[in-house]
Chain A
Amino acid sequence: MTEPDDKLHWLVRPETIKKLWWGGCLLLALTVLAQFVFGFEGYFGIDGWFGFGAVFGFLSCLAMVLFTKGLGYLLKRPENYYDPVDHDD
């Protein structure tokens, strides 16, 4: 961005983004720590482990993104892939 910081929308100024990251991390920590107060026994045992939701959520997303990235090499095509071509030639 070539615009000076004070001309940027407040939401995209670097200091706001820094605050959002800190706030977000605090929120994440709180949701995990809250499990000390509000226990969740889970339905199968394993899902009641401390921080299971956090770890499982993060790892599932990691797995899905990596799988998608790999699949992308196989399946991605240019946007005009299906455009009509002259089949008469």
Chain B
Amino acid sequence: MTDFSPALIMLAAALVIALTRGTLRTAVLMIAPVVTLWAVWQIEDGVQASLFFLDYVIEPVEGSPLRRLFATIFAGMALLGGLFAYRTAKWQELAAAYAYSAGAIGVSFAGDLITMFLFWEIMALFSTVIVWCGGTPAARTAGIRYAIMHLSGGVILKVGIEGLAIQTGSVDIRPLLATDFNTWMILAGLLINAAAPPVSAWLADAYPESSATGTVFLSAFTTKTAVLALILLYPGESVLIGIGLYMIMHGIIFALLENDARRILAYSIINQVGFMVCAIGIGTEMALNGAAAHAFAHIIYKALLMMSAGVVLYRTGKSRCTELGGLYRTMPLTCICGIIGALAISSFPLTSGFTTKTLISQAAADQQLLWTYLLLTAASAGVFLHAGIKYPWFVFFQKDSGLRPKDAPWNMGLAMVIAAAVCILLGVFPDLLYPLLPYEMDYHPYKAGKVIFYLQLLLFSGLAFFILLPLMKRTETISLDTDWLWRRLGVSIALGIGRVMGFFGGLLTSQRKNVQGSVKQFTVNYLGQPHTADSEERSIFGRSWQIGTTALWIALLLSAYILVYYR
């Protein structure tokens, strides 16, 4: 029984990591997530703490199986990432990563929308720091775009939360449906973090610009926290089915176009989160179990893939498929771990992907959603194509790039081996995970006919890959994603507006100068008092007139006045 959020442990750890060095810092990096894990499992079901803030009931700690499941994997991922990163990452990156995971754990236990929003913004801030820790000019600009995207998303979320609070008087986290402006704004705010269209490009833009270790942290928290929030707030919101299916296909197509290995993996996050979003849209108990289980498994195998790509980047300084190849010779451990991650993401039997993703397909089949089921199945083939084979093939096999880098340092190797072991463990013994899921279910993934079906599907996708290999020759290019809208079109529009304004500004300036010149000339001509005593050189009204002329004018004016007045 505990009434404080375990997120506070990770926040405190982040502070200590920032202030200490050497062994003490390493000790905190390793111990804090373990203590957090312990604290996570002390939280019982239901609201554990509440307080009042501006007439609203704030519930910083609310327990449920689903919340504990996500907090467990977030804390576990911090530990794994910490082990992977601690010898090479900057202290800023490590501290930010732990604060970032604190944000994710805080969202997991948030019983109300205000607490959720608070931790949501903590995540946005510290993940931006991790992007910046990439240290390159590209990382700096990508970090700024990332921050703008997430802070804008936060504003949209906040607008929705405030509207809902005023409308209903409650900020409690409860299942909603997108029926009015407020609930749509909350949904949009969540979907921005889930990398849903049309803004999914932020993910593939920012994550690959972070350091070799930073991507491991980034891949775990933001999108999966959004998945948790969607499960809690919008289960069964049918618009999510379409959004999820779009994300699945978008991820595959852009990963196939991509040349940068880490960007391929970034696009496959969009693809995988698409599966979860689609499951939340289906909304049955089986589907929500599938979304939660898939998020759990995905965090581990995606971290494993990012770690293997991170080791390659760390050892070779390269990440483009065109520059890599043949690394299996000298990096067997990284290669094997990368392949295990690739098999898991492709939901190959005996890996965690198979025991979790098939829950989602099962849910679609149970609801008789034929097209959804067929698209999910086609997407499973597509995942094997873009992540399952393409990534390991182009990085570790393909051609001999001539690179002979050393294999992973021991800590990175250990982190990869642990992650790979968990991928296989959950694939062979799915009953380790199933009891932790939010709903009870009677599901057996390993039926002979179904395994054969998936083996056919995946192995023939593999055949397609090798037959179509000439069509997939890597080119040294990038592909335009929706970030073109704000990186090119937006900039062009802004520059265009600037030019139009500049034109009118110039026009105004020249006209003002003309008017000023005329007024000055007029003044000099009629009123001016040049610095000369000679009255002939003065302007008309500036001259001294003879007294007789003045008297004549006065007489004329008075006469005119009398005439007008007495007429």
Interface residue ranges, A against B (CB under 8 Å): 1, 9, 11-12, 24, 27-28, 31-32, 34-35, 38-44, 47, 51-58, 60-62, 64-69, 71-72, 75-79, 81-82, 84, 87
Contact = CB atoms under 8 A, between A and B. Distances in A.
Given A52-B453, A60-B378, 17 more contacts: A24-B462, A28-B460, A28-B463, A35-B449, A40-B452, A53-B453, A53-B460, A54-B459, A58-B461, A58-B463, A64-B252, A64-B256, A68-B257, A72-B257, A76-B478, A79-B476, A84-B141
B502 to A, nearest CB: 12
A51 B459 CA distance: 12
B455 A31 contact: yes
A53 B477 CA distance: 34
B477 to A, nearest CB: 4
B385 interface: yes
Contacts of B479: 72, 75-77
B35 interface: no
Interface of B: 141, 252-253, 256-257, 326, 328-329, 365, 368, 370, 373-374, 377-378, 381-382, 385, 400, 448-465, 468, 471-472, 475-481, 487-488, 495
A59 to B, nearest CB: 8
Nearest to B450: A40
B207 to A, nearest CB: 16
B381 A57 contact: yes
A47 B453 contact: yes
Nearest to A65: B468
A71 B253 contact: yes
A44 B365 CA distance: 8
A71 B257 CA distance: 9
A79 B477 contact: yes
Given A34-B452, A77-B479, A57 B253 contact: no
27 contacts: A12-B400, A32-B456, A34-B452, A35-B452, A38-B449, A38-B452, A40-B452, A47-B373, A47-B453, A52-B453, A53-B452, A53-B460, A55-B460, A56-B374, A57-B460, A60-B382, A60-B461, A61-B381, A61-B464, A61-B468, A64-B252, A64-B378, A65-B256, A66-B471, A81-B478, A82-B478, A84-B141
A28 B458 CA distance: 10
Contacts of B326: 12
Contact of A77 (B451, B464, B480): B480
Nearest to B483: A82
Q: Specify which of A39, A68, A72, A78 lies most central, judged by the most chain B CB atoms within 10 Å of its CB.
A: A68
A53 B457 contact: yes
A24 B464 contact: no
Contacts of A40: 449-450, 452-453
B468 A67 contact: no
A58 B257 contact: no
A60 B480 CA distance: 23
Which of B452, B463, B495 gathers the greatest number of chain A CB atoms within 10 Å? B452
Contact of B477 (A1, A55, A71, A76): A76
Nearest to B329: A9
A55 to B, nearest CB: 8
B548 to A, nearest CB: 66
Contacts of A81: 478, 480
Given A40-B450, A75-B480, A76-B257, A62 B464 contact: yes
Nearest to A3: B400
Contacts of A54: 456-457, 459-460
A44 B370 contact: yes
Nearest to B361: A43
Contacts of B478: 76-79, 81-82
A38 B454 CA distance: 13
A62 B381 CA distance: 10
Q: Across the A-B interface, give the 10 residue pairs with the lowest CB-CB distance, nearest first.
A: A40-B449, A53-B456, A61-B464, A43-B365, A38-B448, A60-B378, A57-B457, A57-B460, A54-B456, A53-B457
B452 A57 contact: no
A9 B389 CA distance: 21
A50 to B, nearest CB: 10
Instruction: Name which of A52, A54, A78 has the most chain B CB atoms within 10 A of its CB.
Output: A54
Nearest to A66: B471
B443 to A, nearest CB: 14
A45 B479 CA distance: 39
B253 A87 contact: no
B494 to A, nearest CB: 10
A63 B158 CA distance: 42
Given A24-B463, A62-B464, A51 B253 contact: no
B373 A64 contact: no
Nearest to A53: B456
A55 B480 CA distance: 32
Nearest to A55: B460
A61 to B, nearest CB: 4
Contacts of A61: 381-382, 385, 460-461, 464-465, 468
Determine which residue in A24, A60, A67, A76 has the highest number of CB atoms from chain B within 10 A of its CB, and name it: A60
A57 B449 contact: no
Nearest to B253: A68
Contacts of B374: 47, 56
Contacts of A11: 328
Nearest to B328: A11
A23 B464 CA distance: 16
A39 B1 CA distance: 50
Contacts of B477: 76-79
A39 B257 contact: no
Contacts of B370: 44
Contacts of A1: 400
Contact of B452 (A12, A31, A58, A64): A31
Contact of B382 (A39, A64, A76): A64
